[in-house]
């Protein structure tokens, strides 16, 4: 995933017009675009501060920008709402808290580090009881490796996959999910409701009736059941399908029984194998 470009003095970008402060000059000049969630592009960042965009907003990092169409006017916009499209030409102009981390110095590979640890601690013993019945957590693997103990966490590719072409790296931009884009765009939050079932009726429905309202029963009846019957000597119906689906849900509530065929096994009940009950 591509990292968002850092902000700095001279960087250019864009944001929705309604998110700038003051917004009156934009509303007066671009009324149509303003009302249709238009963006103002080619804005130049001149400085950065921490405060509120409006008197009712919360404190956040702000970009102060200018635009050629509004000489002498400075706008404030939230950093998280502003998209930097052209980075600074001078790396020194990038804001200090947005500068990318420096490239780490060359270091030994993980295999070399583990080899050095094993040589220096040839008789190393784990400082904690290795758990049984479950795999090691990431912190436990790291702790054992720090003690010089080789750990196979089974994360390496299979022999037949060694040397295979890796998947293409994903592309995109980083996003700050701490702010609701729907709320920022003026969207409304409405409570869930049934369009064709008033709450006075829903409160009287049985659990199975509520399940039918949230499950594509018409698709099951018109498509799935005929497709199943095409492979059966004795046809099934929607009621039998619902019973079968309930059995699957019930069996899925129990852990440690990976093979559903054990539920109808005729083997004698045992502590280690056979039917669960």
What is the SS3 assignment for 115?
Answer: helix
Does the structure show a pLDDT above 50 at 1? Answer: no
Assess whether 64 and 132 both reside in one domain.
no
pLDDT one-digit tens code per residue, 157-193: 666 666 655 555 666 676 666 777 777 777 776 777 7
Range of the domain at 222: 202-264
Query: What angle, 0 to 180 degrees and rounded to 10, lies between the N-to-C axes of helices 110-120 and 138-146?
Result: 50
68, 184: one domain: yes
Position 229 confidence tier, pLDDT thresholds 50, 70, 90: very high
Q: What is the mean pLDDT of residues 92-96?
A: 83
Q: Which of 37, 60, 56 is nearest to 48 (CA)?
A: 60
- Both 73 and 183 in one domain: the answer is yes
Calpha distance 131→128 (Å, rounded): 9
Q: Are residues 225 and 260 in the same domain?
A: yes
What percent of the chain is predicted at pLDDT more than 70?
Answer: 71
Domain count, the chain: 3
Mark whether 151 and 210 lie in a shared domain. no
Of 36-45, 101-110, 255-264, the one with minimum mean pLDDT is 101-110
122, 243: one domain: no
170 lies in some domain: no
Residues 65 and 116 in one domain: no
Report if residue 269 sits inside a domain.
Answer: no
**Is there a domain that residue 216 lies in?**
yes
Q: Terminus-to-terminus CA distance in the chain, angstroms? A: 49
Say if residue 73 is in the same domain as residue 3.
yes
Q: Is residue 54 situated within a structural domain?
A: yes
Same domain membership, residue 64 and residue 182? yes
Euclidean distance between CA atoms 132 and 259, whole angstroms: 23
Say whether pLDDT at 105 is over 70: no
Same-domain pairing of 90 and 32: yes
Whether 34 maps to a domain, the answer reads yes
């Amino acid at each position: 995933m591509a990292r968002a470009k850092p902000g700095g003095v001279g960087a250019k970008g864009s944001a929705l017009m309604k998110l700038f402060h003051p917004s009156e000059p934009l509303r007066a000049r671009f009324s149509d675009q303003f009302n249709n969630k238009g963006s103002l592009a080619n804005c130049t960042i001149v400085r950065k501060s921490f405060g509120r965009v409006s008197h009712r907003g919360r404190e956040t990092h702000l970009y102060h920008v200018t635009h050629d169409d509004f000489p002498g006017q400075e706008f404030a916009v939230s950093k998280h709402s502003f998209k930097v499209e052209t980075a600074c030409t001078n790396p020194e102009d990038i804001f200090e808290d947005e500068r990318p981390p420096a490239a780490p110095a060359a270091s030994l590979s993980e295999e070399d580090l583990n080899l050095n640890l094993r040589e220096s601690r040839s008789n190393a013993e784990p400082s904690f009881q290795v758990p049984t019945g479950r795999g090691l957590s990431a912190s436990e693997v790291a702790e054992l490796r720090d003690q010089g103990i080789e750990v196979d966490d089974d994360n390496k590719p299979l022999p037949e996959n060694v040397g295979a072409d890796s998947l293409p790296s994903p592309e995109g931009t980083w996003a700050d999910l701490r702010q609701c884009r729907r709320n920022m765009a003026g969207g409304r939050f409405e409570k869930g409701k049934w369009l064709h079932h008033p709450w006075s009726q829903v409160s009287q429905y049985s659990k199975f009736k509520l399940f039918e309202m949230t499950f594509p029963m018409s698709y099951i009846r018109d498509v799935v059941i005929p497709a199943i019957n095409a492979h059966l000597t004795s046809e099934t119906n929607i009621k039998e399908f619902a019973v079968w689906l309930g059995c699957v849900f019930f069996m899925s509530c129990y852990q440690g029984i990976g093979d559903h065929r054990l539920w109808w096994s005729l083997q004698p009940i045992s502590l280690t194998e056979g039917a669960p009950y």
